[in-house]
Amino acid sequence: MDLRDIYSRLLSYFGPQGWWPAETPYEVVVGAILTQNTSWRNVERAIDNLRRYNLLDEEKILDTSIEVLKDLIRVAGFYNIKSRRLKNITEYIVKNYTSTEGLKKCNKDLYNLREELLSIKGVGRETADTILLYSLERPIFVVDNYTRRILSRWGIVEENLDYDRIRTLFESNIPRDIEIYKEYHALIVQLGKTFCRKRRPRCEECPLMKICRS
């Protein structure tokens, strides 16, 4: 199955997703931390709490006590860990770049910047790549559990294949385009939620079935 065909089919079926929903680059950073091991619905509720108190700002997050921060993001789960992780990455950004806008404007090489993000406690490859793509507008493909599940079910990759090997598979087979990377990742998430679910997948209704039958 060709990755370009998959993209075209999903885009035709679902339409543009307009993902990642955020008002500022820093809000993407916040969402990338909060979405670890939880649903986006809960992340939205946590972000709404932060917005209600006007805390979607690097300096204000740093000035907010850890206990208050825990309470505001509690709905996103793992709030003890995530509050500290949010502080860690925000402190790193402010210390080294003043703001996320400053980080976005820096001219560092993509992979050097990725290594910097990965050096922050609590930032793994998916989180780092989410920030790079959606917040910093850098061309790197984001791999998540939906990606791994869908590709392994179609026999394109082995289920336990390394994250970066799956990432480079996409980057080697589709145009190196930030908007396509964003859209493709969002479409994969939509497919995973709607049809290629972990339990009771709706295989016969899947829009990708038409590719295999054509």
Q: Where are the domains of the chain?
A: 3-18+141-213, 25-135
Residues 33-54: what's their mean pLDDT? 96
Token couple for 123: 């930032």
Backbone angles phi, psi at 58, to 5 degrees: -60, -50
Label residue 43 by pLDDT band (50, 70, 90).
Answer: very high
Alpha helices in the chain (DSSP H): 3-14, 25-34, 40-52, 58-63, 66-73, 79-97, 100-105, 110-118, 125-130, 145-153, 163-173, 178-194, 209-213
63-95 pLDDT, tens digit each: 999 999 999 999 999 999 999 999 999 999 999
Give the C-alpha distances (Å, rounded to integers) separating 88 from 62, 85, 122, 199: 9, 5, 8, 35
Give one word for 86, left, alpha or beta, with left for phi > 0 and alpha for psi -120 to 50: alpha
Tell me, what's the pLDDT at 214?
Answer: 45
Label residue 159 by pLDDT band (50, 70, 90).
Answer: confident
Provide CATH code, domain 25-135: 1.10.340.30
What is the number of other CB atoms lying within 10 angstroms of the CB of residue 135?
23
- For 3-18+141-213, give the CATH class: mainly alpha
